[in-house]
Amino acid sequence: MSSSYPVLAAAVPVRAGMMVAVPLELVASPLKSGRDLGEAERSALVIGGTDRVRTGDRVVFCKVVAVTEAQVRRDGQVRAKGSPVHHATLGSLEGTAGPDAVSGTAERAPLGARFVKGKRERLLARAFMIRVIVLMTLMPDARVQDVIAALAGDLALVPWARPWRPASARAAGDWRNALGPVPLEELRDLVLGSAWREHQERGCPGAVTTGKRRPLKAGSLDGTLLRVPDTPANRAFFGSVGTGDDSSPFPQARALPMTCCSCRALFAMPHGPAGTEKAAAEQSLLDEAMDRYPALFSPGWIWLMDRNYHGAPRIARMIRSAHVLIRLKSDIPLKRTSEILPDGSYRAELSGDGVTVPVRVIEYWVTVEGQEVPEMFCLVTDLMDWEEYPGPELAALYAWRWDGSETALREAKAPLRGAGPGTGPMLRSCSPDLVRQEIAAWAAGTGMTRGVLLDAARAAVPARKGRRAALTVRPRDLSFARALRAALSAIRLGNACRQAVTSEIARYRNTVDRGRHRARQSKSPSHFPHATAKDTATRIAPAIITMANPRLTTENTVNPPETTILPDRGPGRTGTTRRPPPCPPEGGYPQ
């Protein structure tokens, strides 16, 4: 019997969707030099030993879907050994934590014998299921079977020796229960840890920093709620907020994302039950972050925090290794210990629970188009050097908290099902362990996408015209939603080339830093008569920061001028006036 296939006089009928099997050793480069094709070269491979392809020849172009062993039946049919679950990957996303992150995690993951019996891995496997769970958090409103089909992509068209089909939702649920949350949490820590190390070593393009001789990178942390399905187990474990009797429509999990203000990269996200009180729940999450991720609180970073006061003991613990810039509510007492410094700030003491923390206070208000915002901002920091870190500079830095927390969270939550106010559950999992698994997968998927976005910004060519002409492309200049769509398209097409994905992302730029303002925030459509279009009109104007405490001179040290400012009780609300505390005469400080 001949060892080669006959060359027929008439061409074999070829149609789209058919697979062509070629021995691996016969695949060759068409280049005259014989060198391998690079990722940027747009050429097809050829079959060695055949006539050279010439212009005008009719050629069958095939796509490399899998490289695996062949299994030939007695009648000559050529099929592939194995299964799509051993070949499918998350493509360019997996480069963030390294090519072996998912497979290594899967090898160490035990399976619960109660849910998955035996060692057969034909329809599902450990690594494949980990990828499915991550991809599930990035594909809103997709059934688990659709997620499996998207991950398999063209691999489902390969004539496998044993027919393959997407597993059922029940089988996928059994595998999720068998894996448990630990493998996904391990993958999350690999992805987010890789992002942190890269920021420590290389930083990110256009990084937001403060300080002249000792620049500090800016990070942000803020709490958020995630609605989970209303099952007895979820309600008993997570609880709910907004009602005193736990009658909220859905239970909620509370998370504390820690992000980079410059590129919105996620570094850590401890989470737990919503708790009955926001302050206490987020304080426990901050304690967990300091216990589990001590490396994040390094001397080269300053963490921006909103008005949810975490208490003097936690602030004292944070500033042992890192720096903070925290906005305070008007009911938090400060004991002033110095006169007004040349930058308009002053030193004070922040006390509570037997702990006293020396801080520097920056008070200011903001005006937009000459309209004063009816509240005063009061920031405290452990940075005492007013020359190295002047008050107006720290006040301007605090505005990046919104970009690092609120904008980053809105982008990261967009892929979650039902994201947005007044809708249903955002997560799919009906038990606390699976919720924990899904949150870890969501954090890992978000971190992977941010990694691709960061690589796209590094490789992007600066704009040739416009406001950003010849300037470094920052990750925030690129669209997270577009990056996610490009990554998902590459997964469906089986394109694992990270360079091709980043090039596609870098082609389009966001228009940022336009100074857009609204008179009020509109979270949901409202039927109240006062919520008119005029209230939510967007204006473009710079925000002007004015320090609340003028630099005192010898003429006004004893009797400083009064400043009438509405207290920090929210926009549009009235209250008593607040004046800067008077400075003591020279030679003495308040006791």
Tell me the C-alpha distance between 259 and 408, whole Å: 8
Where does the pLDDT of residue 381 fall: very low under 50, low under 70, confident under 90, or very high at 90 and above? Answer: very high
The two tokens of residue 316 are 């004292």
pLDDT tens-digit profile of 111-156? 887 887 755 666 788 999 999 999 999 998 889 999 999 999 989 8
Please give the Cα distance from 399 to 335 (Å, whole number): 26
Res. 537 pLDDT band, cuts 50 70 90? low
Number of CB atoms found within 10 A of residue 248's CB: 16
Please write the tens of the pLDDT for every residue from 385-400: 999 999 999 999 999 9
**Torsion angle, CA of 490/493/497/498, rounded to 10 degrees?**
10
CATH of domain 218-433: 3.90.350.10
Domain boundaries, the chain: 218-433
Residue 225 CB neighbours (<10 A): 18
554: confidence class by pLDDT, cuts 50, 70, 90: very low
425-478 pLDDT, tens digit each: 789 999 999 999 999 999 999 999 999 999 999 999 998 888 888 889 999 999
Residue 521 pLDDT class (50, 70, 90 cuts): low
The structure's pTM equals 0.85
State the Cα angle at 474 between 473 and 480, rounded to 5°. 115
Q: pLDDT confidence of 552, banded at 50, 70, 90?
A: very low
pLDDT reading at 85 higher than 80: yes
Q: Left if phi > 0, otherwise alpha if psi is -120 to 50, otherwise beta: which for 196? A: alpha
CB-based contacts of 274: which residues, under 8 Å, 6+ apart? 225, 238, 239, 240, 241, 251, 252, 253, 254, 281
Two tokens, residue 305:
């925090």
